[in-house]
Amino acid sequence: MIGDYLAEITLAALSVRYRRDPAHGYVEHFLDQLRPHLGVLAERGAKVVTNAGGFHPAGLAAALRAS
């Protein structure tokens, strides 16, 4: 599964959020979109490739692991 989240307007918004709080430099609604499907993805061994991590990909990965 592939997702592309970083259009120019998204990058601009993430940049502002990241400067205010570096812990939130990723596309948070990606979590809401993916969370309901995590069980099926894990069951099937599917890989998810996305650029929703924006300025803080490790933060997005940690948030997904906590889901």
- In this predicted model, what pLDDT tens digit does every residue of 2-57 receive, in sequence order? 788 888 888 999 999 999 999 989 999 999 999 999 999 999 999 888 999 999 99
- E strand map for the chain: 2-3, 49-50
CA distances from 50 to 1, 20, 26, 42 (A): 8, 23, 11, 16
> What pLDDT sits at residue 63?
93
Count of structural domains within the chain: 1
pLDDT at residue 8 in the model: 86
pLDDT of residue 45: 95
Q: What is the pTM of this model?
A: 0.81
